[in-house]
C-alpha cells in the first residue's frame, strides 16, 4: 500500500489532519489500534477555542457544530465563598464553544466516510521504519496479516502511550514533565447544568468545576487524592462534596441525579522536544499533555494540525522542501504558552498537600487580584479563548 502521508491514530487530531490533507489532494491513510466504537466511546472535554472552531469549519465539518454548539462569552471563577465572571466578549470580542469531543470525532468520521478515505481499525503491532530516510514505511498486523504502507511522511497522532514518540531515539528526545499530586473525579449526569457558563472553584477542601455538554447533560468534577478509588465515591458523597466547594448560590440551585459515567483522571504537564524526527511528526497527546484546567488538550492538538497541514501543503503544492523543517519550532512555541496557562490555572485553583493555610490565602489573594484587575482578566480571557496561530 502507498500513501503520501500515513497517520497513526484515529482520534480527532488524526481525523482532522486527514480531512484537511484530503481537501488539498494529499493522499493519506489512518491506522487506529482500537475499534471505531471504542474511539467514539471516549468521554473527553468539550470547550473549543475560536481557532479550533475556525479549523473545523474550514475542514467542512462545522455545520452541526454551528447548529448545536453552545456559545460561552465568559466563565466564572470562585474562591472564598464568592464568584465573579470573566467576560470574553467585553475584553476581546471573542468566545468559546461548548461542543463535546465525541461529537467532533463523529463529524470527522462522517466526513471521512463520505470521502471514501481509508481508515484501518484494529491495526496491531504498528512499527515505523527508516524514518530518517527518503523512503519511510509503516508495518502493522491487521486480521492476522502483516501489511506495509510506503509513504513520504508519518504523522504520529497516537497519544501519550503510542508508538510514535518512542520511535524517536531517547538520546534525541527531551521530555519535560510535572505529575500533580491529585486527580479529578468526574461524573456525567442527565441534569440541567447549574450554570449557563463554566464555574472554576478554588476551595480549602480542593478544586471543583461545573461544566456541561448540553442543556440536559452536565459534567462536574472535584479534586481527589490519587489514592482514591471510584467505589469510595457514591453519587450522594460526590454531590455533597461538590456543594461544599462551589459558591452557595450555585449549590442552592444545583439539580442532582444518578451518574451515567464516573471516572478519576490523574493530572500531568508533559512536553516532548522536538516534535519531529526525520519524516515523523508528533501531533497532540503524542507530544504533549496538559492538565484539563483551562481546556487546552484538544485545542492544542488542533493547533498542531494547523502547523503541520500548513507545512505539508506548502511542501506538496509549492514544492517548498524546507517547509516541513519548521513544524516543531512553530508548534512548540504555542505548546509552551498554552501549557503555561494550564499550569497557572492548575496551581492557582487546586489545593496542594504542602501549601497549608498560607498557600490557600495566597491563592485567594491571587484570585481577588484577578477579580479587581481589568488587565489580569484580559490576560486570562486571551489565553482561554485561544492564542492566535
CA distances from 233 to 228, 238, 242 (A): 8, 6, 12
**Does residue 136 carry a catalytic annotation?**
no
Q: Which of 292, 307, 327, 350 is catalytic?
A: 292
CA distances from 103 to 12, 106, 186, 191, 235 (A): 10, 5, 19, 19, 26
Q: Which of 288, 296, 330, 350 is catalytic?
A: 296
**Does residue 296 carry a catalytic annotation?**
yes
**Does residue 243 carry a catalytic annotation?**
no
Q: Which of 180, 200, 221, 307 is catalytic?
A: 200
Q: Which of 12, 22, 72, 220 is catalytic?
A: 72
**Does residue 90 carry a catalytic annotation?**
no
Among candidate residues 178, 176, 172, the one with its CA nearest the CA of residue 276: 172
Cell 482578566 sits on residue: 377
Report the distance separating Cα 254 and Cα 243, nearest Å. Answer: 8
Other CB atoms within 10 A of residue 118 CB: 14
**Does residue 361 carry a catalytic annotation?**
no
CA distances from 163 to 126, 154, 206, 271, 275 (A): 7, 12, 36, 16, 14
Supply the residues annotated as catalytic: 72, 200, 292, 296, 384
Amino acid at each position: 500500500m502507498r500513501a503520501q502521508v500515513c497517520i497513526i491514530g484515529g482520534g480527532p487530531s488524526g481525523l482532522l489532519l486527514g480531512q484537511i490533507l484530503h481537501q488539498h489532494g494529499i493522499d493519506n491513510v489512518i491506522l487506529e489500534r482500537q475499534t471505531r466504537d471504542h474511539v467514539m466511546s471516549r468521554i473527553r472535554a468539550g470547550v473549543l477555542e475560536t481557532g479550533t472552531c475556525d479549523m473545523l469549519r474550514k475542514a467542512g465539518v462545522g455545520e452541526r457544530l454551528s447548529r448545536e454548539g453552545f456559545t460561552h462569552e465568559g466563565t466564572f471563577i470562585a474562591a472564598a465563598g464568592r464568584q465573579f465572571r470573566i467576560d470574553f466578549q467585553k475584553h476581546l470580542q471573542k468566545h468559546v464553544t461548548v461542543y463535546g469531543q465525541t461529537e467532533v470525532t463523529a463529524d470527522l468520521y462522517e466526513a471521512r466516510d463520505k470521502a471514501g478515505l481509508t481508515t484501518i481499525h484494529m491495526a496491531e503491532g504498528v512499527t515505523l521504519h527508516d524514518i530518517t530516510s527518503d523512503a519511510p514505511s509503516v508495518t502493522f498486523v491487521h486480521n492476522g496479516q502483516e501489511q506495509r504502507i510506503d509513504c513520504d511522511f508519518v504523522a504520529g497522532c497516537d497519544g501519550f502511550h503510542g508508538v510514535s514518540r518512542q520511535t524517536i531515539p531517547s538520546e534525541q528526545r527531551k521530555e519535560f514533565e510535572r505529575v500533580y499530586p491529585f486527580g479529578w473525579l468526574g461524573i456525567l449526569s442527565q441534569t440541567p447544568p447549574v450554570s449557563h457558563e463554566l464555574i472554576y472553584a478554588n476551595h480549602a477542601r480542593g478544586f471543583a468545576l461545573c461544566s456541561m455538554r448540553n442543556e440536559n447533560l452536565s459534567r462536574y468534577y472535584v479534586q481527589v487524592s490519587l489514592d482514591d478509588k471510584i467505589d469510595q465515591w457514591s453519587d450522594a458523597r460526590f454531590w455533597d462534596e461538590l456543594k461544599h466547594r462551589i459558591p452557595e448560590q450555585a449549590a442552592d440551585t444545583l439539580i442532582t441525579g444518578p451518574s451515567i459515567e464516573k471516572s478519576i483522571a490523574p493530572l500531568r504537564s508533559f512536553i516532548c522536544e522536538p516534535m519531529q524526527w526525520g519524516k515523523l511528526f508528533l501531533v497532540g497527546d503524542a507530544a504533549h499533555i496538559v492538565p484539563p484546567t483551562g481546556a487546552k488538550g484538544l485545542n492544542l492538538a488542533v493547533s498542531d494540525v494547523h502547523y503541520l497541514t500548513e507545512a505539508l501543503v506548502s511542501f506538496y503544492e509549492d514544492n517548498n522542501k524546507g517547509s516541513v523543517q519548521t513544524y516543531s519550532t512553530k508548534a512548540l512555541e504555542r505548546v509552551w504558552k498554552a501549557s503555561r496557562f494550564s499550569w497557572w490555572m492548575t496551581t492557582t485553583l487546586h489545593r496542594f498537600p504542602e501549601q497549608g493555610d498560607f498557600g490557600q490565602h495566597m491563592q485567594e489573594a491571587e484570585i481577588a487580584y484577578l477579580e479587581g484587575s481589568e488587565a489580569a482578566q484580559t490576560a486570562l480571557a486571551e489565553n482561554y479563548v485561544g492564542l492566535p496561530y
